[in-house]
Amino acid sequence: MSKDLALPGPDVPVIDETRLLEEFGGDQEILNELRDLFLEHVPPLFSDIEEAAKSGDGESLATNVHSLKGACSTYGAPRLAMVCKQLELLARDGKMDAVKASFEILRREYDQVYEQIKNVGCGV
């Protein structure tokens, strides 16, 4: 695990559904639409991030991680947004060895978000 990447603390939720509902005026339908958009568009984006990390393409990685960070911020996934921000900075600084060493942290956080988002608004 890289010393360049710090995980958010346990006080930072994977998904902040309460904040999301408040932000969208309690409109569950909007929340469901956002969930569906996230589930449709983010997996291909994550694949692009993974490919850029493997190939050492820092510019593409930084751009795609920035996009993922925005999606996470919009959807109330603060932990993953924080990890994305750190990886984006590493990629922009050309620290691809640190990015590659830290990629499993990003994957683990992404997997947690993906699993929790699937259940947002489903009464689960």
- CA atoms within a 13 Å half-sphere pointing along the CA-CB vector of 24: 19
Do the beta carbons of residue 61 and residue 52 sit within 8 Å? yes
C-alpha distances in angstroms, 17 versus 27, 35, 69? 12, 11, 17
C-alpha distances in angstroms, 62 versus 25, 38, 69? 33, 19, 10
How confident is the prediction along the chain (124 residues), in pLDDT tens digits per residue?
Answer: 344 566 666 777 788 877 777 877 878 888 888 889 989 999 999 999 999 999 999 999 999 999 999 999 888 888 999 999 999 999 999 999 999 888 999 999 999 999 988 887 765 3
Class assignment of domain 17-119? mainly alpha
Q: What is the pTM of this model?
A: 0.83
Domain residue ranges of the chain, discontinuous segments joined by +:
17-119
